[in-house]
Amino acid sequence: MFDLDLRSRQPIYEQLVEKFKELIISEVLKPDEQLPSVRTLASQLTINPNTIQKAYRELERQGYIYSIPGKGNFVARVARKGNAEKLARLREELVKILSEAIYLGMKKEEIIKIISEVDVLITGGEKNDRS
């Protein structure tokens, strides 16, 4: 389920956060689905339970999961309307990244191909016009 690089400069908890976000965004983990307990995941990955807890706290802070005391952690439902601020930040980041990619020689067609690949990955090939 998780492929962590223990020799990476990126902290393990950040790697966990990114992996969980990928699973949630690609809908491998569905809304309201329970995540593995801290203790279970720590023993499966053979890492400190505090590292798992830190990743879960960060995911909750970012709005990807919610916790119910005594029950566990669950995947949050996406509040598409409340994401205006986050979408504005992502748009700014995309403009910076795309500007650099074009400056370094990436062609418009390559960028469009990447966007199409991500769209298929996320939507599972559904034909939706979201514009």
In this prediction, residue 40 carries a pLDDT of 94
SS3 sequence of 28-67 = CCCCCCECCCHHHHHHHHCCCHHHHHHHHHHHHHCCCEEE
**Cβ neighbours for 81, distance < 8 A, ≥ 6 positions apart:** none
Residue 129 clears pLDDT 60, i.e. is over it:
no
In this prediction, residue 85 carries a pLDDT of 73
In this prediction, residue 58 carries a pLDDT of 95
Residues 28-82 pLDDT 10s: 899 999 999 999 999 999 999 999 999 999 999 988 999 999 999 999 987 655 5
**Cβ neighbours for 90, distance < 8 A, ≥ 6 positions apart:** none
More confident residue, 124 or 43: 43
Tell which CATH architecture fits domain 12-75: Orthogonal Bundle (1.10)
Instruction: Report domain extents, the chain.
Output: 12-75, 84-123
* Burial (Cβ within 10 Å: 0-12, 13-18, ≥19) of residue 53: middle
In this prediction, residue 14 carries a pLDDT of 95
